Structure 1
Amino acid sequence: MNKHETLDVIIIGGSYAGLSAAMALGRSLRNVLIIDSGLACNRQTPYSHNFITQDGATPGELSSRAKSQVLKYPTVKFLNGLAVSGMKTKSGFTITTQTAEVFHARKLVFATGIKDIMPDIKGFAECWGISVVHCPYCHGYELRNQKTGIMANGERAFHLAGLVNNLTDNLTILTSGKAGFDATQMATLDRNKIEIVETEIDEIAHQNGQIQNVLFKDGRQSDFRALYAALPFKQHSDIPLSMGCELTEPGYIKVNDLQETTIGGVYACGDNSAMMRSVATAVYTGNLTGAVINRELTAEQF
């Protein structure tokens, strides 16, 4: 690839959303460069679910198969690297990598995902994506009928409890502090026999990411086998914010119905801009992004 040429599109992030956008663009003969650091947020998850035709495949299998299919289109190239800065120019955008490589494109896509902020609990990170999970749609069926805890409080915990209650009759909410439920919520939880534990968690004892016990700071322990955790997060890449892309109140990149950010010519797709965090959503928003960009390029050229 000639680094001095202006590409049609640079896609930062080469997981499901980025690859999906690249396929749509490659099939329209657009010159595309995907830059990916290889740090997908679900890299520790053993299996991917709730994506029709691919239910039960590993995340690595899915991304490897997708990458091989996308790169069959000759106008799509893939660079293993880390994009560290971006700049808007008169003709489009410039992206610089950690190794000081500079690339130019008319349009820019962020498919960079989000980064979960892990709590300071021993064993938590090792279990994340395996037996400590975020989504009952992605993981709930496999964890059904297990002794299950929800690590959250207030509205988020109440919402998760309603979903997970259908998957197990042994459910406890672990608030790690004073419970923040109103009287109506407390009555609902009590009616569904959902216990609330306010004691802080000290450690998650596990074997290869599978929970054996949850240890509390008062010395008690409980043999949970699954935990749902509502974690705070931040954008995996700082570039969108540094270029002026606005974020929503929860911290997602703000996009419209066509995946356009608040910066003209810049798009975002996948987990960085969607509350519904799933492979299926990432693939859909990536596909839409590719189609919208191709339409824009066509309007500019035709």
Structure 2
Amino acid sequence: MDDVIIIGGSFAGLAAALQLGRARRKVTVLDTGLPRNRFAGHSHGLLGHDHKPPLEILAEARRQLARYPAARLVNARADSVSGVIDDFSVLTAEGERLGARRVILSYGVADQMPGVPGFAECWGTSIVPCPYCDGFEVADRHWGLVWSSPQSHQSARLFQHWTDKLTVFADGHDLPAEVRADLASRHIPVVDGRIVEIAHRDGQIATVNLEAGRQVAVDVLFAHPRNKPSASLHESLGLETLETPVGIALKVDERRQTSVPGLYAAGDLATPFLPSVTQATWQGAMAGIFAQQSMLA
């Protein structure tokens, strides 16, 4: 039996495994090899790894983890989790059943692409969600923002730290008059009408095309499509969740423990706001440490 099984081997999962391996706890990481940011060419803002391809960072993390004999990585999908604290059972898609005293869920989320031609092809390249991740590289260029919720108003104001050329696309939303007045005072135009196509060249956006036939050229488009957990294990376990503007997140306490004792969560799966590689790494490390500390005799 393992001390800990980690489901999901991206930044949060590997950070947890590193702490547990260094604590000489027997840990198995189950991973499908499909991290959320695999579409991004580079990862930004991660100390010591700024502007490196995310898959390259993860590959190096796996190489470093290999020096700890108590930790192992398995290319497998977890199909189910059952049991209670000190006696959890994980069944893989290959039919292997593994036991562990603790489980850490870090299988992340998957972004749900809207049914707009060209959107998915540009995702992670010229359509991005986060100015802290990609804003520096496109600063002072013409940005577009797809309105998705009241939080978009905050985004429009925030973006002015990077550029003074910003266009808001209402995309069918009815923006309140006071919001429109505030945007106008900031010289931010609002384009009404639904987006029907993203015209692009090899993933580089050219124009945002609207239902009335209007085309608006921008250099980069910021959007926040809804996401959903990459697996449904939390549902079968009955874990408590939180609603976020773009989906759900697992509810955890100050020690990263979910509503089920002995089950921990980290990374985008348990991040209500502003997910990032830095935050996922920190959360994973803490989940590993707290899981290890919970096993003290």
Same fold (TM over 0.5): yes
Give how far 1:178 is off: 3.8
Q: Which residue of 1 aligns with 2:98?
A: 103
Q: Which residue of 2 aligns with 1:188?
A: 182
CA deviations over 1:166-222 (Å, ceiling 9, x no partner): 211111111111432351x22221111111112111111112221112111211112
Q: Say which of 270, 294, 297 aligns to 1:296.
A: 294
Q: Which residue of 2 aligns with 1:74?
A: 69
CA deviations over 1:39-64 (Å, ceiling 9, x no partner): 11110100000111111000011100
Percent of paired sites with the same residue: 35
Q: Say which of 240, 244, 250 aligns to 1:246.
A: 240
Is residue 223 of structure 2 the alignment partner of residue 229 of structure 1?
Answer: yes
Give how far 1:154 is off: 4.3
SS at match of 1:259: coil
Is residue 253 of structure 2 the alignment partner of residue 256 of structure 1?
Answer: yes
Q: Which residue of 2 aligns with 1:3?
A: none
Q: Say which of 105, 111, 116 aligns to 1:116.
A: 111
For normalisation by structure 2, the TM-score amounts to 0.95
CA distance in structure 1 between the aligned counterparts of 2:134 and 2:148, rounded to whole angstroms: 20
* Farther-moved stretch of structure 1 (145-154 vs 94-103): 145-154
For normalisation by structure 1, the TM-score amounts to 0.94
Distance 1:89 1:157, change over 3 A: closer
Q: Say which of 195, 201, 208 aligns to 1:207.
A: 201
Q: Which amino acid is 1:83 matched to?
A: A
CA distance in structure 1 between the aligned counterparts of 2:269 and 2:75, rounded to whole angstroms: 20
CA deviations over 1:78-109 (Å, ceiling 9, x no partner): 11011111111474211111111111100000
Q: Which aligned runs of 4 or more in structure 1 are off by greater than 6 angstroms?
A: none
CA distance in structure 2 between the aligned counterparts of 1:15 and 1:115, rounded to whole angstroms: 13
SS at match of 2:250: coil
Q: Which residue of 1 aligns with 2:279?
A: 281
CA distance in structure 1 between the aligned counterparts of 2:80 and 2:263, rounded to whole angstroms: 14
Q: Which residue of 2 aligns with 1:177?
A: 172
Q: Cα RMSD over matched residues?
A: 1.2
Distance 1:90 1:162, change over 3 A: closer
Listed as ranges, the matches of 1:33-182 within 5 Å are 33-89=28-84, 91-182=86-177
CA deviations over 1:242-298 (Å, ceiling 9, x no partner): 111111122100001111100000000011111221110011001111111111112
SS at match of 2:38: coil
Q: Give yes or no for contact 1:259–1:288 (8 Å, CA) kept in 2.
A: yes
Give how far 1:115 is off: 1.3
Q: Give yes or no for contact 2:208–2:215 (8 Å, CA) kept in 1.
A: yes
The runs of 5 or more residues in structure 2 that have no matched partner are: none
* Farther-moved stretch of structure 1 (153-162 vs 45-54): 153-162
* Farther-moved stretch of structure 1 (259-268 vs 192-201): 192-201
How many residue pairs were aligned? 293
CA deviations over 1:60-81 (Å, ceiling 9, x no partner): 1110011111121010001101
CA distance in structure 1 between the aligned counterparts of 2:115 and 2:85, rounded to whole angstroms: 45
Q: Give yes or no for contact 1:157–1:173 (8 Å, CA) kept in 2.
A: no
SS at match of 2:50: coil
CA distance in structure 2 between the aligned counterparts of 1:135 and 1:194, rounded to whole angstroms: 19
CA distance in structure 1 between the aligned counterparts of 2:232 and 2:173, rounded to whole angstroms: 34
